[in-house]
Structure 1
Amino acid sequence: MRQEEFEQRYQPEWKAFQDSIEIAEKFSRRRGDNQKVLDGFAEHYRQVCYCLALARERQYSPYLIQKLETLVFRGHQIFYQKRLGIFKRIYQFIVFGLPNAVREQATFVWIATALFYLPGLIVFAIVLVFPELVYAVVDPDMVSNIESMYDPTADRLGRERQSDTDFMMFGHYIRNNIGIAFQSFAGGIIGTLGTQFFLIYNGVFFGAIDAHIINIGYQETFYGFVAGHSSYELTGIVLSGAAGLQLGWAVIAPGQFSRKQALINAGKRGMVLMYGAIFLLLIAAFVEAFWSSISSVPPTTKYWVGGAGWLIVILYFTLLGRGRRV
C-alpha cells in the first residue's frame, strides 16, 4: 500500500484519536471524570500503535512516522498514567520498554560498544607487553591506589581507605557510575565528539588497569571483585554512550526535521536508554558494594555469579519484551 493510500485510509481514525487525547488532557484536571473519558481509549491506542508499526516496517516518510510517534506518546501518557500505578509503569518499562528500545536503536548501541571495547582491548594488549606504559594512561597516584585496593592481603576489596561502610560505598559507586553515564550522554550534543571521547577514554582506562593488574599478579582478587557487577556497569556505560551518539547524530544529520526538532526527537529516544543505563548502574553499585568486596567468598563463586550476570543481560536484551510495545 502506498503512503498516500495508507494516510487516506487511517487519517480519520488518527484525527479521532487526537481529539480523544485533547479531551482526556482537559478532563485530567477533573479526576472524577477520568474513567468516562478513558472508556474505549485502549482500543484506539492499540490501533494507532499498529499503524506506527506498519509505517516503520514499510519505511514511510519520517514526517508520518514522527506524527504517529507523537500520537502514541501522548496516548501512552494519558492511558498509562491514569490506569497504572508507579510500580506497574516501572514494570512495563523494565520488561517491555527498555529491551525493545535497545533493539530499535541497535545501530547506536553497537557503535558505542565498539568505541568502548576496541580501544580498551588494544591498550590492554600493549600494556601487557610493555608494562611501563600504564603510567602514560593512568596517573601514578591512581595506579598506586588501585594496587592497594586489590592487594590480596586486604580485608575488603575495591574500597577507598576513607570509606568505612558498605552503604557509604554504595553511594560512592552510584555517584561515580551515574556521573560517567551522564558525561557520555551529554557529550553527544557537540556532534557526538564528547560521547566518543568519554567512551574511548573509559575503555582505554579500563584496558590499561586490567593489564597492569595482570602484570603485578593481582588478577585473582581484581577479577573476583569486578566479575559480579561488570555486566551491569559496562552495559550501562555503553547504553549511555548510545544515547549520546544518537543525540549528536541528530545535530549532524537532522534529516527532514529542523535541528531543534531532530534534537528533541533524539532526546526522547535517548532518554529511554538513559533510564535503562541508570537502572543497570544502580544494580551494579549495589552488587559492587555488598557482594563484590567480600574477600571471604571464593573467586570461583564470584566468577560463576559474574558469568550468570552476563548471561542475564544478554538474554534480557535479546529476548525479553518481543511482540509487545509500551
Structure 2
Amino acid sequence: MKAAEVTSAVSGRIGSFFGRGTVAAPADIESAALRSDKFRLEREADWRRLEDIVAKMERGGLRRIDDADLLALPALYRTAASSLSVARETSLDSATLTYLESLVQRAWFQVYGPRKGFFGWFREFLLGGWSRAVREIWLDVCIALFVMVTGAIVGWVLVSQNTDWYYRLVSTSMADNRVPGASRETLMQTLQVEDSAGGLSGFAAFLFSNNAGVCILAFALGFAFGIPSLMLLIHNMAMLGAMVWLFAGQDLGWEFGAWLSVHGTTELFGILLAGAAGLHIGRSMAFPGTRSILEAASEAGRRSAVVMVGVVLMMVVAALLEAFPRQLVAGTDSRYLIGGVFLTFWLAYFYLYRPDHADEDTL
C-alpha cells in the first residue's frame, strides 16, 4: 500500500485522530499516513507468513505445513490479533483494518476452531483412522478371537453330550425348525433361497437393529474389566457351535457354512471387534500402568469409540448381506465366494491398508 493511498484512506477517518468537526491540515494527514504505513511495514512480514500458513491449512490441512511453521502458528496468530487491537484503538486506515480482521478470523479457525467438518472427519476415518484404531487394539482382538473360538467349541461339546443344552443355548425364535431330531430335508429347507425380494428391506432393518444391539452391548459391558464382554462372546458363539453341530449331524455342515458365510464373515468380524473394543477399555482400567485409571479409561475409550463407529457400519453391511444375497443367491460355491470376498476385504483393510499419511500409534 503506497503512502498516497494510505493518505486517502485515512482522510475519511481523520476526525477520530483530531476530534469531531476539526478540519485536518495536510501536515496532520501526512503524519497519520506515515504512522499507519510504518505500523504496517514493521509487521507485514509476520502477517504475510501467517496468511501463507493459513492458506495452506485451508487447502490441505496439517499435511501441507512443515514443523517450523506449525510451531510458529500460535505466536503469529497472537501477533496478528495484537496488531488488530492496536489498529482499532488508533484508527489506522480501513484497508489495513479490514485485512487484519479477515486474517485474524481465518487464523482463529485454524488455531482454535474445529479442525475438520463431518465429511473431512469421515474421509479420514475411512482412509486410515478406523483401520489404525483396530490395529492398536490387536491384543484385545486376539483375546476376543480366542474366546469366540473357545465358545463355539464349548457349544458343540455341550450339545453333543446332552441335547438339552441345545434348547438352553438357542432361543426358540432363532431355532424355528432347526432342532435336534429334525430331518435332513427339514434342515435343508431352512437354507433355501426366497422366491422374491419382497419384504427383505424390512428384514434387513430388523437384522441391523438386532446385530447392532449385540455389538453395542458387548462394547458397553467392557467397563467391568471386560469380563461381561467376554461372557457375551462365549454365549453367542456357543449358540453358533450348537447349530453347527446340528447341521453337521445331518451331513449339512458344508452347506450351513456357505449359508452362514455370506453375512457371517462380516457380522462375526464386527462382533469380534465390538467385544475387543469393550475388552480394551476393561483391560486398560485393570492395568492402567503409570496412568491413573480415569486417564487410562479415557484414552482407551476414545480409541474404542472409533472402532465402534466402524462396527456399526459393518452391521449395516451384514444386515444387507443377510437380507438379500443370503436369501436370494443359491449355490454353495456362490455363497462361499461372497463370504470369502468380504472376509478378504476386511482383513486387507484392517491389516494391510496403511496410508502413508496415517501416523501409527502403539499401545
Alignment counterpart, residue 152 of structure 1, candidates 185, 188, 197: 188
The C-alpha deviation readout for 1:253-311, integer Å capped at 9, x for no partner, is: 223333222222111010111112112111111111011012x6212211122222222
Provide TM-score, normalisation by structure 2.
Answer: 0.62
Which residue in 2 is equivalent to 1:94?
A: 126
Q: Is 2:233 aligned against 1:199?
A: yes
Structure 1: state its 5+ residue gaps: 1-34, 49-73
The two structures, once aligned, show a CA RMSD in angstroms of 3.5
Contact 1:127 1:134 in 2 (8 A): yes
Alignment counterpart, residue 146 of structure 2, candidates 114, 120, 141: 114
Alignment counterpart, residue 134 of structure 1, candidates 154, 159, 166: 166
SS at match of 2:298: helix
SS at match of 1:152: helix
Contact 2:130 2:307 in 1 (8 A): yes
Structure 2: state its 5+ residue gaps: 1-53, 69-109
Contact 2:247 2:256 in 1 (8 A): yes
SS at match of 1:293: helix
Which residue in 2 is equivalent to 1:103?
A: 135
Which residue in 2 is equivalent to 1:251?
A: 285
Alignment counterpart, residue 281 of structure 1, candidates 297, 315, 330: 315
Which residue identity is paired with 2:142?
W
Provide TM-score, normalisation by structure 1.
Answer: 0.68
Aligned-residue offset at 1:154: 5.5
The residue correspondences of 1:22-171 to structure 2 (distance < 5 A) are: 38=57, 42-43=62-63, 47=67, 78-81=114-117, 86=119, 88-125=120-157, 127-128=159-160, 131=163, 133-139=165-171, 142-146=174-178, 151-153=187-189, 165-171=199-205
Percentage of identical aligned residues: 23
Change (3 A) 1:248 1:297: same
SS at match of 1:191: coil
Change (3 A) 1:213 1:46: farther
Which residue in 1 is equivalent to 2:215?
A: 181
Q: Answer with 1 or 2: which has the greater Rg.
A: 2
Which residue in 1 is equivalent to 2:338?
A: 305
Change (3 A) 1:43 1:315: closer
Alignment counterpart, residue 213 of structure 1, candidates 244, 247, 250: 247
Aligned-residue offset at 1:47: 4.7
Aligned-residue offset at 1:198: 0.8
SS at match of 2:290: coil
The C-alpha deviation readout for 1:230-264, integer Å capped at 9, x for no partner, is: 11101100110111011112321223333222222
SS at match of 1:297: coil
The C-alpha deviation readout for 1:5-42, integer Å capped at 9, x for no partner, is: xxxxxxxxxxxxxxxxxxxxxxxxxxxxxx66946961
Q: 2:332 & 2:294 partners in 1: Cα distance?
A: 51
Contact 1:131 1:212 in 2 (8 A): no
